[in-house]
Amino acid sequence: MGTISLIKARKAFGDAIIIPGADLEINDGEFVVFVGPSGCGKSTLLRLIAGLEDLTSGEIRIDGKDVTNVAPAKRGLSMVFQSYALYPHMSVRNNIGFGLKMAGLPKAEINAKVAKAAATLNLTEYLDRKPRQLSGGQRQRVAIGRAIVRQPEGFLFDEPLSNLDAALRVNMRIEIMQLHQDLGATMIYVTHDQVEAMTMADRIVVLNRGNIEQVGTPMELYNHPDTLFVAGFIGSPKMNLVENNTLGIRPEHISLSDNKGDWPGTVMLSEHLGSDTFLHIDAGARGRLTVRAPGENTLGPGSAVWMTPEKSRLHRFDANGRAIHT
């Protein structure tokens, strides 16, 4: 089983406090995404769980057992690194089998397990190649193969797709989700890409300056952000914030009309995505708003429009940026 708990986990490098104190419960088999801007401490949090960094104070439990002072390999977790971190001097076969070799498994068993993992990831024909002879996507698969072959309790992914091009990224995203369904193992996935977070996660953990801002399912975070930060981070394009950041409304929750509505404005720019059109509208004192319109929308720059926000979809925030729930 693979539950992971952080209890007042704190990390400081000298005077620099990276994680002031994080509490988090991750359930067995859950796909949890850590998301936040760069420097928010999400990778550090992952590395603390992996055991690659030592906690300054607090506790980490895996499966109920305190692993705070347990070596990385003994925690029953596998990690996929951003740079893939393959062993460049070893063949794909030895890359995948290295962990099993270190665990002292007999050669025949290693070969069988490597062959099985390679088959799962369509790597069988590349087993004798060196990493430099592989494409980016294939290297990524080898890194995942190295992680799954040990049949760990949990997987840790540190921005694994950020080095791939856009098309491949979408494919690998789906492959990782499929892998999660097939293996049923706990997965923690770090990304700065809120689209990856929304599409992949069972639960999202939003981090800001080392603090956990909010934990919830993608739709909870989308519909009920606790803070201004979460409201701005989750959803694309970003939520519109008006009235000194105390009122938020998402681009998709504003209706447009050419003769009546609550807020007048002038179209500045229109972005056509095919399925949708995003209009950037100058709303005078309210600032610049983004509004989602149907793909066929033909309003061009200079057009005068009226905007009406959906009342039930308005988000209100206090002066400290905390959501006011009505």
Q: Which helix (H) or strand (E) holds 45?
A: helix 42-50
Of residues 57 and 83, the one with the C-beta less far from another protein: 83
- CB 52 to another protein: min, Å: 5
- CB 46 to another protein: min, Å: 12
- CB 211 to another protein: min, Å: 25
How many other β-carbons are positioned within 10 Å of the β-carbon of residue 21?
Answer: 17
- CB 39 to another protein: min, Å: 18
- CB 267 to another protein: min, Å: 47
CA neighbours within 13 Å on the CB side: how many for 178?
A: 9
Report residue 185: phi and psi, to 5°: -85, 160
| Residue 33, amino acid | V
Of residues 98 and 263, the one with the C-beta less far from another protein: 98
Q: Nearest Cα to 123, choosing from 154, 147, 152?
A: 147
- CB 98 to another protein: min, Å: 5
Task: Give the C-alpha distances (Å, rounded to integers) separating 143 from 65, 75, 137, 241, 299.
Answer: 27, 19, 10, 41, 48
Of residues 49 and 305, the one with the C-beta less far from another protein: 49
Of residues 76 and 232, the one with the C-beta less far from another protein: 76
Of residues 75 and 169, the one with the C-beta less far from another protein: 75
Of residues 129 and 286, the one with the C-beta less far from another protein: 129
Binding site for another protein (CB under 8 A): 50, 52, 71-74, 77-79, 81-83, 85-89, 98-99, 102-103, 146, 150
What is the C-alpha to C-alpha distance for residues 115 and 127, in angstroms, rounded to an integer?
9
Of residues 69 and 83, the one with the C-beta less far from another protein: 83
- CB 26 to another protein: min, Å: 18
User: Quick one: tokens of 146?
Assistant: 């190295």
State the SS3 of 263-295: EEEEEEEEEECCCEEEEEEECHHHCEEEEEEEC
**Are the C-beta atoms of 181 and 200 separated by less than 8 Å?**
no
What is the C-alpha to C-alpha distance for residues 249 and 255, in angstroms, rounded to an integer?
11
